[in-house]
Amino acid sequence: MRVAELKPRILLGPGPSDTHSRVLEAMARPTIGYLDPQLLALLDDIQDMLRAVFCTQNELTLAVSGTGMAGMEACLANLLEPGDRMLVGVAGFFGQRLAQVAQRVGAEVFTVEVPWGQVVSAEQINEALKKHDRIKLVGIVNGETSTGAWQPIPEISAAAHAARALLLVDAVTTLGGAPVLVDEWGIDACYSGSQKCLSCPPGLAPVTFGPAARAAMARRKRPVQSFYLDMGLLARYWGQDRQYHHTIPVNMIYGLHEALVLALQEGLEARWARHRAQHQALKAGVEALGLSMLADPAHLLPSLNVVGAPEGVDEAVARRRLLEEYGIEIGGGLGAFKGKAWRIGLMGESARPEKVAALLSALRAILEG
């Protein structure tokens, strides 16, 4: 098979989302060098535009090469040293992942776990912070892609700061599709991915670090174990030194640049409202089919919807038919929801009324057939 023979899809899974044609056209421009002044100008723009989408003034805001996991690893590897203590709110698969990666960095990790579909409360975080002293970092996932639950951040932030801990937020499934107010909410470090609500292909991970996080990084006793993800070294390339660190994926930079231009041209408020509206349309549509979302109704994430599969229907067969007969991709359940749910992403260019309508009519045909 050749790439040119690939069939187009409507991407309504947990990511990647559909890419705007302007982003794809940008990525097809000729590759230039990683120190070309034109590329450096794009990097400066990306930092400014990322500050706008993260709603932050943080100087140290850039895109790490790699997917959302690179953003997660960059934050943990730079903020933690072996023996440091971290508290993670675990409400699903990606909370578990955050705890696992922190352990690999050598941290002593404590968790607050809630049933899948629920969010972690500030009281639970408070209690855990009372029980375990010397917690350096509290980590939480804003949009839990495995459950479709939307974790509120401000109260968790207050709890973390009252215990003199830093707050790390995973915004992989929310940045660009829902408010991620880094400064207003007091988030010390935050990471995301290019391929979800920013609607760029996978390959870059926006990250931002506030003053308290940078101060903690400056107090490190040993260098960051990962050379590739060392924020101090990356900041020297993205900042004024322009010192070689690694060969940045140039055409991905074009894509992210154009995706951010599109997001800001639309306007963040309008973009968040569009994601909410399509989520509501999907919710009404699946309810009309007799189905329901599995997350706590008070905390439904607009960008990722976990819908319970009907009794007696093999969810994997229905998903395969959607892909093969209708060209629509949705995801299957993870962990506790494996075999029981569909994960329907409405992110970036995928959060469009005609795509929601296409999915609902295909699902109806499959379920009624």
Task: Write down the least CB distance from residue 345 to ligand PLP, Å.
Answer: 9
Q: Residue 186 or residue 331: which is nearer to ligand PLP going by CB?
A: 331
Distance in Å, CB of 171 to ligand PLP, minimum: 8
Among residues 172 and 286, whose Cβ is nearest to ligand PLP? 172
Residues in binding contact with ligand PLP, number by CB under 6 A: 15
| Piece of 51-59, 132-140, 169-177, 234-242 that binds ligand PLP (CB under 6 A) | 169-177
Burial class (CB in 10 A: 0-12, 13-18, 19+), 208: buried
* Pairing label, strands 204-209, 60-65: antiparallel
Place of tokens 């675990």: 90
Least separation in angstroms between residue 143's CB and ligand PLP is 6
Among 151, 173, 278, 303, binds ligand PLP (CB under 6 A): 173
Could you give the CA distance from residue 158 to residue 120 in angstroms, rounded to a whole number?
A: 14
3-state secondary structure 159-179: HHHHCCCEEEEECCCCECCEC
CA distance 363 to 326: 10
* Amino acid residing at 225: Q
Cβ-based nearer residue to ligand PLP, 39 or 294: 294
Nearer to ligand PLP, 15 or 255 (CB): 15
Rg, Å, the chain Cα set: 20
CB of 68 to ligand PLP, least distance (A): 3
Nearer to ligand PLP, 102 or 141 (CB): 141
Length of the chain: 369
Helix or strand run (H / E) with residue 238: helix 231-238
Nearest approach in angstroms of CB 67 to ligand PLP is 3
What gap in Å lies between CA 367 and CA 315, rounded to an integer?
10
Q: Which residues contact 116 (CB under 8 A, 6 or more apart)?
A: 91, 92, 146, 147, 294, 335, 336, 337
Q: Is 367 in contact with 314 (CB distance < 8 Å)? A: no
Min. distance of Cβ 234 from ligand PLP in angstroms? Answer: 17
- Quick check: helix, strand or coil at residue 258? helix
Interface characters, 48-67, with ligand PLP (x: CB under 6 A)? -------------------x
Which is closer to ligand PLP, CB of 145 or CB of 199?
A: 145
Q: Are 168 and 138 in contact (CB under 8 A)?
A: yes
Minimum distance, C-beta of residue 130 to ligand PLP, in the bound complex (Å): 27
Backbone angles phi, psi at 88, to 5 degrees: -120, 130
Nearer to ligand PLP, 64 or 322 (CB): 64
Q: Is the C-alpha dihedral spanning 295, 300, 301, 302 positive or negative?
A: positive
277 binds ligand PLP (CB under 6 A): no
Toward ligand PLP, which CB reaches closer, 306 or 362? 306
Binders of ligand PLP in range 14-43 (CB under 6 A): 14-15
- Closest CB to ligand PLP belongs to which residue? 68
Interface with ligand PLP (CB under 6 A), residue from 106, 152, 179, 202 = 202
Segment interacting with ligand PLP, rule: CB under 6 A, options 139-147, 181-189, 206-214, 328-336: 139-147
What number of helices (H) and strands (E) belong to the chain?
12, 14
Q: Stretches 41-49, 154-162, 165-173, 242-250: which one binds ligand PLP (CB under 6 A)?
A: 165-173
DSSP state, 145? T
**Which residue ranges make up the site for ligand PLP (CB under 6 A)?**
14-15, 67-69, 72, 94, 141, 143, 145, 170, 172-173, 193, 202
